[in-house]
């Protein structure tokens, strides 16, 4: 998918270690969350995760597209907690938090 880039768009990323002892840890070790956010509207334009299987990435990314981060990301994290029921759930949430924190740093500049 090609995204027309506007001056107000920023791309932020966050990473977290996957839980040891899980099959995905043996393959990947870390999970990444990438968000494209429009600073003017505080809307997530697109999201992607570094999962090997596209169905996993597509499913979790759909929680974020078009959603606002203007009042924080807690409602989005709650959706992950209730719908994304996989062993690396905590690592995914941490990667999202790190990406959001990076956004807040950029927004404050």
Please tell me the predicted confidence (pLDDT) of residue 26: 63
Please tell me the predicted confidence (pLDDT) of residue 77: 96
Chain segment 7-49, per-residue pLDDT in tens: 999 999 999 988 787 766 667 788 899 999 999 999 999 999 9
- Cα–Cα dist 57/50, whole Å: 7
101 vs 52 pLDDT, higher one: 101
- Which domains, from first to last, does the chain contain? 9-108 (3.90.1010.10)
Q: What is the mean pLDDT of residues 98-108?
A: 94
């Amino acid at each position: 998918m090609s995204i027309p880039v506007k001056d107000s768009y920023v791309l932020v990323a966050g990473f977290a270690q996957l839980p040891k002892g899980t099959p995905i840890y043996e393959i990947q070790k870390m999970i990444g969350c990438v968000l494209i956010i429009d600073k003017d509207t505080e809307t997530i334009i697109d999201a992607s995760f570094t999962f090997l299987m596209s169905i996993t990435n597509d499913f979790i990314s759909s929680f974020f597209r078009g959603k606002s981060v203007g009042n924080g990301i807690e409602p989005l994290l709650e959706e992950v907690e209730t719908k994304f029921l996989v062993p690396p759930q905590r690592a995914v949430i941490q990667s999202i938090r790190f990406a959001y924190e990076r956004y807040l740093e950029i927004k404050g500049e």
